[in-house]
Amino acid sequence: MTCPVHPPKPPARADRVSLLTYLRLFRRDILSAQPARLYRAWMAEFRTPFFRSYMVNDPALIRLVLNERPDDFPKSDRVGEGLRVLLGQSVFVTNGETWKRQRRIIDPAFEGGRLKETFPAMVAAAQAAVARMAASAWGSAGATAGMVEVEEQASHAAADVIFRTLFSIPIEHEIASAVFQEFRRYQRSQPILNLAAFLPLPRWMPRFHRRATRASAAAIRALITRLTEARAAEIAAGTAPDDLATKIMTTRDPVTGQGFTPAEMVDQVAIFFLAGHETSASALGWALYLLALDPAIQDRVAQEAAALGDAPEFSDVNRLRLTRDVFRETLRLYPPVPMLVRENRCPEEFRGRKVAKGAQVVLSPWHLHRHERLWAEPDAFDPDRWGGEAARVSAREAYMPFSAGPRVCTGAGFAMVEGVLLLAMLVRAFRFGRIAGADPMPVAHLTVRAKDGIRLKVTPR
C-alpha cells in the first residue's frame, strides 16, 4: 500500500498580527491570511472597529445556520457588495422572498430529467476539450511542447459546457468567446472582497470598485444582454432551442405567476456563468494536478474511463465510481468557494459566547474539509477514503463544497456530472505528469485557483 500524497496548501499566518496586516493579507489572499489554529478550532472570533465575525467549524452550529434556521442567517451584504457590479440582483446575492422567488423559477431547469437532456451538450464540450488539449500540447514544436497550463484549459472547457447547455452555442461562437475573454479580465481585476466588506459604507457612497473591474463587468453584462434579447425573440417566434435558457425564461413562478424580466435574466445568466464556469474550472484544474501527483490512481481512472464509448450515455457516468471519488476528494481539498458568509438577524449564543445581532458568521469549507478533528489525514489526497465508513461520517458532518440546506447550489448535480465526465475523458486520452519545481500554490480570488496557474506535462495514452 502506498502512502497518500500531500498536495500544497497556503502557509498559515501567525496567530497574532495587527489589524492592518490582517486586512492587507485578507484582501490579497483569504487563505494565507488565516491562522493555523483554525484547522483544529470549533469556533474563532475576529474583531474590527466596525463589526465582529465568527468562523464556525462546529458541525452542530453549521447545521443551525444552513439547515435549521436559514432565514435567521441571510447572506451577508459585505460579500455581495464586491460582486454586485457584475451580478446585480442575481440569486447568488439576494435574500428573503426575492431569493425564494428566484429559486422557484430556476430550480426546475436543473431537475434530474433536465440534466439528462443537457448531457449530449456536455459530451460535445468534453470532446472539444480533448481536441484543444491535444492542440495545446503539440500544436507547436519546441521546448514547451507537451507542457500545458491546464487551469486555462479547464476554464475553456467549463465555459464551453455553460454556453452549450445554456444557450446551445459553443465557446467559439462570437459572443460566447467575447464573454469568456472578458471574464478572464474581470477575474484578474476583482479581489474576493472590496473595501465595502470592511467598512460600514452608506448606500449612496461609491463602492470603490477598480476601474478595470467596472469596465469588464459592464462589457460582460452588455454581451449577456445581447444573448438574452436574441433568445427572447426566438421564444416569441417559436424557434428557440429547448435548452436551459429557454426553460428558465419560459418558467413562471408558481406562487406569483410571473417570470423573470429581461433585466432579471441578465443577472441570472451572469451568476450561471460565474458559478457554473469559474467553480467547475477550479475543480477540474486541481483534479488534473492531483492525479499528476499520484500516477497509480491516475492509471486506475484511465482504466475505468476506457470503458466509455466515443459518445458516452448519461447512464455511463454512474459507472465512473473512482473518477467520482477523485472529483469529490478534489472538492474536499480545494473547494472552489472557500468561505460562505452569513449575518445573524437576532442575538445568538454560540458555544457559550454571546454573538450580537448583525455579526458576520463565516462558514469555511476550506477549513472544515481539512479539519484535524473531523477527517483522518485531512491534508492527504486519498480518493479511496470515500469507500470507508469514516469518510461517510465525516462527509455528513464536514463536507459542503456546494453549501447546504435550502441555499445549496442548484447546479450541484450538474457540476458533479460535468466534472466527472470531463475528468474521465481527459484522463482517458492523456497522461498528466508533474513538472518538478512548478507545483501550484492555491490562492482565493473569486474561487480557489493556483497563484501562477497549473502547468503539467501532457502526453497521449
Rounded CA gap, 32 and 12, in Å? 5
In a domain, residue 12? The reply is no
In a domain, residue 5? The reply is no
Q: Decide if 379 contacts 9 (C-beta within 8 A).
A: yes
Please name the helix (run of DSSP H) or strand (run of DSSP E) that holds residue 247, with its range, or none.
helix 244-250
DSSP annotation of 4 reads P
Q: Could you tell me which of 59, 39, 14 has the C-alpha nearest to residue 377?
A: 39
What is the model's pLDDT at position 216?
85
What is the model's pLDDT at position 189?
60
In a domain, residue 286? The reply is yes
Q: What confidence tens digit (pLDDT) does each residue in 222-240 have?
A: 999 999 999 999 999 999 9
What is the model's pLDDT at position 138?
75
3-class SS string, 212-259: HHHHHHHHHHHHHHHHHHHHHHHHHHCCCCCCHHHHHHHCCCCCCCCC
Three cell numbers written together for 299: 492509471
DSSP annotation of 377 reads S
- Please give the radius of gyration of the chain, using alpha carbons only, rounded to the nearest integer: 22
Q: Around Cβ 14, how many Cβ atoms within 10 Å?
A: 8
Residue 41 φ then ψ, to 5°: -85, 150
In a domain, residue 366? The reply is yes
Rounded CA gap, 286 and 322, in Å? 16
In a domain, residue 8? The reply is no
Rounded CA gap, 424 and 401, in Å? 20
Q: Which amino acid is at 252?
A: R
Q: Which residues of 69-94 are buried (b: 16+ CB within 10 A; e: fewer)?
A: ebeebbbbebbbbbbbbbbbbbbbbb
DSSP alpha helix (H) spans, 33-76 = 59-63
Structural domain including 313 reads 19-460
In a domain, residue 2? The reply is no
Strands 360-363 and 340-343: antiparallel
Parts of the chain with a pLDDT under 70? 1-2, 12-29, 49-50, 78-82, 139-145, 188-210
In a domain, residue 241? The reply is yes
The domain that holds 415 is classified in CATH as 1.10.630.10
In a domain, residue 316? The reply is yes
Concatenating the DSSP letter of every residue in 112-170 gives HHHHHHHHHHHHHHHHHHHHHHHHHHHSS-STTTTEEEHHHHHHHHHHHHHHHHHHS--
Q: How many domains does the chain have?
A: 1
What is the model's pLDDT at position 137?
78
Q: Decide if 130 contacts 426 (C-beta within 8 A).
A: yes
Provide CB contacts within 8 A for 140, sequence distance 6+.
none
